Amino acid sequence: MWQSVSRLLSEYWGETYTITEKEELPGGDIHRARKVSNGEKEVFIKYDTRDILPIFTAESDQLAMLAKSHTVRVPEVYGVGYDRDNSFFTVAVPSSETVRCPSCLLSGSAVGETPSMERSASVWSRF
């Protein structure tokens, strides 16, 4: 899979992208995730079995639509791909520097911790 990821990223940037670092990221309840780097550019990769490719493609399309709306910031999508056994979705590594107000960061963290709509009212009452 890593050769396919490297090839996709090389095509995206128009230069050879050789993965030199891989960091497994914890907390993926549905798909596995890693942060990879070539020593200069970091990339977030979500991956799963090959049959998940349509889901990753849809997610990529939805992020592109959100980006065009200019209403929220979304990570730059580098591409979606697959190899014999796996499919993968590559995006820019989110930067904590993009959140400039502390209360915004806390709000986003609180929302992330409460997936249920029933509990979301209590989240917003904290702010």
Categorize the per-residue pLDDT at 27 as very low, low, confident or very high, splitting at 50, 70 and 90.
confident
Tokens 């999508």 locate to 77
Q: Decide which of 8 and 115 is more confident.
A: 8
Residues 28-83 have pLDDT tens digits of 778 999 999 999 999 999 999 999 999 999 999 999 999 999 998 899 999 999 99
CB atoms closer than 10 angstroms to residue 87: 23
Start-end of H helices in the chain:
2-13, 53-69, 102-113, 117-124
Q: Where do the domains of the chain lie, and which CATH numbers do they carry?
A: 2-94 (3.30.200.20), 96-127 (no CATH)
Average pLDDT of span 94-123: 55
The separation between the first and the last C-alpha atoms of the chain, rounded to the nearest angstrom, is: 43
Whole-angstrom distance, CA of residue 24 vs CA of residue 121? 33
How far apart are alpha carbons 78 and 112 in whole angstroms? Answer: 24
